[in-house]
Homo-oligomer: A and B are copies of this chain.
Amino acid sequence: MRIGRSACVSLLGRSERGVLSTVHPRRGVDAVPACFVLEGALVAVPVDTVKDKGTPDLQRVANVEADPRASLLCDHWDATDWSQLWWVRATLVRIDADAGRRASLEDLLRAKYPQYGIDAHPFASLLVFRITELTGWSAVVH
């Protein structure tokens, strides 16, 4: 059944990671797992230097520069008990954030993920999005 807005926000805020889907001009869609933080109506996804990517010039960045639309999906999977399943999807549009906002979002990322605290400069860049829609489903009432 559908989950209401406040439960969507709560579940999203407690999720450890999500799946970021972006628009690819030829493939249609790309998706990658992503660390993120939620602050009000904003979602921030870092391009970090902690996980070895070979290059920080990632397709996800090129995609949102060409088309700012994206989505972040968080879900809970349980192979044996499907009554525990839920998912929340935030539909996103990329925005420009000023330096103060970016610093605040980076602080939240460091607080959420201890791995980012070890490095003085863990972020190659930061994608900041505004949530335009929240949709959620669960097997039971939340």
- Listed in ascending order, the chain A residues whose CB lies under 8 Å from chain B are 1-2, 16-17, 19, 21-23, 27-33, 50-54, 67, 69-71, 73, 75, 77, 79, 82, 85, 87, 89, 91, 115, 132-133, 137, 139
A85 to B69, CA, bound (A): 26
Asked whether, in the complex, the Cβ of A73 is within 8 Å of the Cβ of B33, the reply is yes
Max chain B C-beta neighbours (<10 A), residue from A27, A30, A69, A73: A27
Asked whether, in the complex, the Cβ of A79 is within 8 Å of the Cβ of B23, the reply is no
Q: A142 CB to closest chain B CB, in angstroms? A: 14
What are 5 pairs between A and B in contact, CB < 8 Å?
Answer: A21-B29, A21-B30, A23-B29, A51-B82, A53-B137
Asked whether, in the complex, the Cβ of A51 is within 8 Å of the Cβ of B89, the reply is no
Contact of A82 among B50, B79, B82 (CB under 8 A): B50
Asked whether, in the complex, the Cβ of A23 is within 8 Å of the Cβ of B30, the reply is no
Chain B residue with the shortest CB-CB distance to A69? B28
Asked whether, in the complex, the Cβ of B139 is within 8 Å of the Cβ of A31, the reply is no
Asked whether, in the complex, the Cβ of A54 is within 8 Å of the Cβ of B89, the reply is no
Chain B residue with the shortest CB-CB distance to A2? B54
Asked whether, in the complex, the Cβ of B16 is within 8 Å of the Cβ of A77, the reply is yes
